[in-house]
Structure 1
Amino acid sequence: MDNSEKINLLLIKLENLLLRQQGFDAEIKALRDEVRALQSPGATPTHDVIVKGPVIAPPPRNTPPSQVIQNTNNSRPVPSFSSSNTNQQQPNFADRFKRDNIVKSDFEKFIGENLISKIGILILIIGVAIGAKYAIDHDMISPLTRIILGYAVGAGLMAFAIKLKEKYENFSAVLVSGAIAIMYFITYAAYDFYALIPQVLAFGLMVIFTSFTVVAAIKYNKQVIAHIGLVGAYAVPFLLSDGSGKVGVLFTYMAIINIGILILSFKKYWKPLFYASFGLTWIIFLAWRLDLSSANIFFSLSVLFSTLFFVIFYITNLAYKVAKKEIFGLSDVVIILLNSFIYYGIGYFILLGNKNSAELLGLFTLANAVIHFVVSLIIYKKQLADRNLFYLILAMVITFITMAAPVQLNGGWVTIFWTVEAAVLFYLARVKNIAIYEKLSFPLIFLAFFSLLQDWTTYYNFYYDSEFITPILNVGFLTAVIFIISFIWIYNISKKEIEKPIEWAWARQILNYAIPSILLLVVYVTFRIEISKYFNNLFELTKINTNPNGKSAYVNYEYNYNYEKLQTAWIYIYTLFFASILSYFNVRKLKSNELAIACLVINLIAVIAFLTHGLYNLSELRDAYLSHTDKYFNISSFNIGIRYLSIVFFGLFIIQCYKLINSGLFKMDLKVMFDYLLYISILWLISSELINILELADLDGSYKLGLSILWGIYSLFLISMGLAKNKKHLRIGAMVLFGITLIKLFIYDIAYLSTISKTIVFVSLGILLLIISFLYNKYKHLIIDDAKAEN
């Protein structure tokens, strides 16, 4: 009879005794109630006799456990009595006793069999090391004796561990790992401290120890052996490098350790072991590589071993997952990405620092893409893993191809490459429903946009360097056109396929606004830059050397700066035209509520910009025409004509704003806002035109008088419109304008006007006020009706 059967037998006996004890208690209480009832006639018994449950009699002595269990299931129940006050289910003492003992047993087992053994082997190794150090410091034993004793301790510990394996496997595994660690250290000491063995022999011994560790870890099925034996061996590695440039031995040793872990990965999948090896290897390699002053040092060695480590870890990470066809988790994806980009970063740093290999950066980037492509192809053809792994590695291919463009190409070609790639990935993601491609297209869309911004910055650098760029017929414009076409394609796909689900809903929501916004911005800026290119070329062509004979060492160039003002005027015309077309296209074709809001914001900005800076620039063109005294350049009357061309485009723009407001694309009524926009714009334009006419007529000093009268007349016009159309906001606006006019008259105008001018202004404004008052009295019923309607 084993221990488990004995425990079951004792627990059954204990349970039966408890049940019988409950039955006896119930019977005793029932008898006491009957006695009280007889002693006190008429008294109500305090307890009722009820049947609670079975009482199982204990089995005879020496009954077999199997028969005991069977009998307990088939035995006839014995009545048990319990009081109503104690009619609650009693806790199963046996189950609680068993559970508590199991928990205590597991914890005690962990402490006794696992933790104590590991602490013990660690303390043993430290103790041996302290004793060895003491013996060495006091020259108690010769170096050869030290090494022999060290090997003897390791071998003895190994033999003892193997002997204990059959009965005490966990304890034996800890001893084996400690013995291997001792062997590693003693071999290093024999080679480096005392030079008792050659480097080749030390290297060979460590290969043997590593191989043995792999076999032992598999046989014992204990990860602790691999941890202490292999990862612990990373404390030794530097050891084989004597500082004389024999770093190849160090990395060869590390590669052997990693190959051992690779072999283990086909048998076991011990993630902590792999993570430790992965981290230590790359940390050691990076620390060594970054410590070198020049990338030309150990060039071939660096490339060879970084590639070797990359391949080992790549295969190791895939080996178990592919063999078991398991789905890759987040940690597996992170390791693949880290391994790939650490290797690429090291390779890029090495190649960039070598003058003979800097031109190979693009080829190296493509080589990384080819490696991942081959792996993805093998996985796809052999169907070695789940679909997500295939798409992940294929995504790595696309990533490195994407990186190859800026590494090898320059300027607009990078933007073209990224733009087309983003469009293709977005198409495959939405149409073919490959979610990972859409995730990859997200960063590419913004990368392409930022690359285009960089191209535009380059253009301005060319301008400052006096470079001529032909408008339209240049790489920059071609790049922007390809970008626009690709983004139109992406936008159309996003609208058609938006119902398909995606993991990153927030990212799709961002793209729904980002794609049309980027598209609008790029279309606008692209043609604006071409306008700037045209006028910049004209500006550069006007360069004149004012000292052509070279009589002086000082060289001075003159330019026709009027072209800069003309450029600004044409850009405002283009901006008004662009905003008008955008509003028209949305009202007639797209009918998008989101785009309508964007158009409204764009239109407001365009109105404010034109009425402030745009009109000011037109006044500067007029002043340049009127005060032209430059002996090198002629300024034509087009400086005046472009003003009216701009006003025509502004009028067309206001008409499109009106259609947009009344298109029904907005949830709120914006007609009042449009009225303010319209009438303020008209006032601003006619005020500017009045000043322009007075300047052309050489009556610039009369604009104060003219503006006051004009504003008064316009106030009267607004009052009339407000009464005629029953628009209270126009009437209030007219009053505000008239108040501003009066303040201007008494604070500003009166100090600078002559007596005749003051008379004209006061009489004119007085008449206007009387007319306004008359209109209010005549049409007061309209105002009263309006007020009643509001109430």
Structure 2
Amino acid sequence: MYILVIILVIIIIILYSNLNKRIRILENEISEIRKSQPKKQTEEIQEISETIIVPVPEHDEEKIPVSIPEEEAKDRLAPLFNFLQQNALTIAGIFTLVLGIGYFVKYAIDKNWIGEVSRAGIGFTAGAGIITLGHFLRRNYTVFASIITGGGIAILYFTTTIAFREYHLFSQTAAFSITCLITLISISLSYYYKSEILIIFSLFGGFLAPLMISDGQSNYPFLFIYITVINLGMLAVAYLKEWKSIGWIAFVFTNIYLFYWTIEKTEIITVYFYIASYIIFYAFALYNYFRKGVLFQWDILMLVLINFTSIIGTVYIFKQLQYDPVILFPVGFTLINAILLYREYTEKKSGINHSVFSGITISLLTLAVALQFKTHLITSAWAVEATLLLFIWKKTNLRIFRIFFYILFPLVIIAQLMTWAEYIDAKNLHIIFNPLFLTSSVTVFTTFVNLTLLRKLPEKREQENSFFENAFTLVSYTIIYIAVLLELIYHISEKPFITVFSIAMLFSLYYIFIILLFRKKLEISSTLQTVLLYIFLSLIIFDTTIAGTGIIHDIVGKQTDPALYFLYGLYLAPLIFTTVKIPPDSEFFRIRMSFWLLATAIVIAVSMEFYHLYIVSFAENISEIAILREHFSLLYLPIIWAVLASIFIYKGLKSNAQEYSQAGFALLIVTILKLYLYDVWEMDNVSRIIAFIILGIILLLSSFLFQRLKNILKSMVEKKKNSTENNDA
């Protein structure tokens, strides 16, 4: 076995030596070719390279960044993919080497070749050796050397962790000191080598080090002093080298630690570290602003996130510990952004910077007011933040903010649903001025703002966005509807069920009616108008058959106030107005089923209201309702249907809408079939005679009216035709 391994190693060395020799020959040949190139060709190549690498000019006056085109935004990921393609083998190689060293050490331990101190010594030696190798390779192979050095640093971190956890060679203080030393060395090397890759390795190691050496006892203040020191080092390097990626890595790790500490062990001292993190990362986000007078998309996103994450953390601590005022930090952060906004105002700038600072300032002030009224923190914060992202998306037209808005808005809905669920167990809530409804009010307000902003986006009218617009609009109006409905139901929940149900139905009908009434000002799309009309008419059918009948039953049984029936009857106003105002050429009537749904709603509403009036007028008690219902169905319902059928036929001929006429004839057929197949066999002789006579007269009058109207229309067509021929002559 050992002989085979030795032979394999020898073969690899020979192959590597042979390949290395050929690479050197190739490098020499390339060098000779470059030297033999004419000077003019070299200058042309230099000119081409200068045209490719164009520095970003510094603006003197407005300093307004230009919106980034789609293709350019996509190309920003190209360097990452190129890096992975070119260095995938290197990364895999260093990872494999680290694992190989680890397996070798494990094998040596299993064989009892080395003791615990020797094991740690091998790890530290291997890590230092790999770092040294990277140092010698840095001049000619910068990226490769950075990855190699990062692997060496990783070995040092893991060796320290194992020596502390498994072998107990160090105390926790000593282990922590060693990890800090490793972090400082790695940051110094990355700065010295000018390697962003290496400092990323260093940051990951620095932030993961506390987890590696943790003994289960949480010393959070000491931990966050260490993290604050790392963040200050990150900020210094970021300002010196303009490496933006390290700021985001530090931001993510810092907030994970902060939120975990906040939830696990809520302490007032945590607030000081939130303030320190806010200052550090705000300074990081404003680097380009102070240096170049411009805010780029990732800077804006950092400003939004650092404000809202800091508010969520600090306000949560104040609420849990019952400190006042809870709006201390929202107002403080508002003032900081207001100062920057005032700076833009005094310099008479109205570009993206002005819009961003004004949006953040107004959002934070809105959130402060909401929190002062004891609204739910997460729901309110996310709702305001989503609106801010949409506002910045509109102002900058950068897709990154649209993506984050798409991500955050569903979370707002989830948070709001959790808030609404608290109505189930809530007790003694004040009308309107209670935490649940005030939280819903914040969501409703931001939703209105979202709808306004969405209507004004430049890409709104694109066909590919129409589905999203309609879905988002429908969801937004649904949120507003549920927020008000739940508050209404909560405060009338002690009343009888039929009262609660009828009031809820009446509110639903008027809510949809108001949206349809102001559809032009609200810029409701024709598709959404059709959907709302379908819902409206379906609710009419549902309301009249269930709510109306239930109210009549309770009135007859002396279980409710008769005034409730008049309140219920208010649904007729929007029904009549909507029916009269729907133009025959509207989007609603482009679907044939719309005529039938409208006709069905009208027939059911009219029939049920005559039935309700009949029961109220003649029923003495509940036991008489069944007899009166049967009598009404046999005697009066066919008459009502015949009259309605005649009206439909007349309207169809007058408006040239055949669907109305078809609905009228269909209703007549149903009336006749009902009369001959069912009613005749249930009536007494007197009722049968009355029903047949009245129905016959109505049918004859309808037929006469139809014939007369048809002749009038025929005469009008012929007159118009003769008039046209005379004009031509």
2:307 corresponds to which residue?
398
- Of 711, 714, 718, which aligns to 2:648? 718
Distance 1:756 1:250, change over 3 A: farther
Offset of 1:691 from its aligned partner? 1.8
**Paired AA for residue 155 in structure 2:** G
Instruction: Provide the rounded CA distance (Å) in 1 between the counterparts of 2:476 and 2:103.
Output: 72
**Cα RMSD (Å):** 5.4
Offset of 1:264 from its aligned partner? 1.5
**Paired AA for residue 277 in structure 2:** N
1:577 corresponds to which residue?
510
Instruction: Provide the rounded CA distance (Å) in 1 between the counterparts of 2:139 and 2:470.
Output: 59
Kept after mapping to 1: 8 A contact 2:127/2:153: no
Indicate yes or no: 2:252 matched with 1:341: yes
Distance 1:520 1:375, change over 3 A: same
- Of 592, 597, 605, which aligns to 2:523? 592
Distance 1:658 1:675, change over 3 A: farther
Distance 1:247 1:661, change over 3 A: farther
Indicate yes or no: 2:423 matched with 1:459: yes
2:278 corresponds to which residue?
369
SS at structure 1 position matched to 2:429:
coil
Indicate yes or no: 2:700 matched with 1:700: no
1:471 corresponds to which residue?
431
Kept after mapping to 1: 8 A contact 2:492/2:500: yes
Offset of 1:626 from its aligned partner? 0.9
Q: Could you list the per-position Cα deviations for residues 548-578 of structure 1 after superposition, in whole angstroms to 9, with x for gaps in the alignment?
A: xxxxxxxxxxxxx53x322332333333333
Structure with bigger RCO (C-alpha 8 Å, 6+ apart): 2
Q: Flag the structure with larger Rg.
A: 1
- Runs of 5+ in structure 1 lacking a partner? 12-64, 70-113, 138-142, 148-184, 193-201, 540-560
Work out the number of aligned pairs and report it.
571
Indicate yes or no: 2:641 matched with 1:684: no
* TM alignment of 1:21-60, pairs within 5 A: none
Give % identity: 16
Instruction: Provide the rounded CA distance (Å) in 1 between the counterparts of 2:541 and 2:665.
Output: 22
Q: Could you list the per-position Cα deviations for residues 756-785 of structure 1 after superposition, in whole angstroms to 9, with x for gaps in the alignment?
A: 444544555455555555566666657989
Kept after mapping to 1: 8 A contact 2:203/2:249: no
Q: Could you list the per-position Cα deviations for residues 441-489 of structure 1 after superposition, in whole angstroms to 9, with x for gaps in the alignment?
A: 5555555454444333323431xxxx22232343444444444444444
TM-score normalized by the length of structure 1: 0.58
- Of 539, 561, 564, which aligns to 1:639? 564
**Paired AA for residue 535 in structure 1:** I
Instruction: Provide the rounded CA distance (Å) in 2 between the counterparts of 1:389 and 1:704.
Output: 70
Kept after mapping to 1: 8 A contact 2:639/2:694: yes
* TM alignment of 1:332-731, pairs within 5 A: 332=245, 336-354=247-265, 357=266, 365=274, 367-377=276-286, 380-381=289-290, 387=296, 390-401=299-310, 403-404=312-313, 407-408=316-317, 409=319, 411-424=375-388, 426-427=390-391, 430-431=394-395, 443=407, 447-462=411-426, 467-495=427-455, 498-499=457-458, 513=470, 516-517=473-474, 519-536=476-493, 539=494, 561-562=495-496, 564-587=497-520, 590=521, 592=523, 594=525, 596-628=526-558, 635-644=560-569, 646=570, 649-656=571-578, 658-659=580-581, 661=583, 670=590, 676=596, 678-696=598-616, 697-698=618-619, 699-705=628-634, 706-723=636-653, 727-731=657-661
Kept after mapping to 2: 8 A contact 1:370/1:397: no
SS at structure 2 position matched to 1:455:
helix
Kept after mapping to 1: 8 A contact 2:251/2:281: no
Instruction: Provide the rounded CA distance (Å) in 1 between the counterparts of 2:448 and 2:709.
Output: 55
TM-score normalized by the length of structure 2: 0.62
Q: Could you list the per-position Cα deviations for residues 280-311 of structure 1 after superposition, in whole angstroms to 9, with x for gaps in the alignment?
A: 6666754776xx7xxxx4211x6635763675
Q: Could you list the per-position Cα deviations for residues 415-442 of structure 1 after superposition, in whole angstroms to 9, with x for gaps in the alignment?
A: 4444445545555564578886666555
* TM alignment of 1:737-748, pairs within 5 A: 737-748=667-678
* TM alignment of 1:770-789, pairs within 5 A: none
2:7 corresponds to which residue?
none
Kept after mapping to 1: 8 A contact 2:312/2:377: no
Distance 1:701 1:287, change over 3 A: farther
Distance 1:573 1:129, change over 3 A: closer
Distance 1:406 1:440, change over 3 A: farther
**Paired AA for residue 651 in structure 1:** A
- Runs of 5+ in structure 2 lacking a partner? 1-23, 39-89, 320-373, 620-627, 719-729
Offset of 1:403 from its aligned partner? 3.5
Instruction: Provide the rounded CA distance (Å) in 2 between the counterparts of 1:266 and 1:754.
Output: 105
Instruction: Provide the rounded CA distance (Å) in 2 between the counterparts of 1:218 and 1:395.
Output: 39
Offset of 1:652 from its aligned partner? 3.5
- Of 304, 310, 314, which aligns to 2:222? 304
SS at structure 1 position matched to 2:425:
helix
Kept after mapping to 1: 8 A contact 2:551/2:565: yes
Offset of 1:650 from its aligned partner? 2.5
Instruction: Provide the rounded CA distance (Å) in 1 between the counterparts of 2:574 and 2:638.
Output: 28
SS at structure 2 position matched to 1:241:
helix
**Paired AA for residue 528 in structure 1:** L
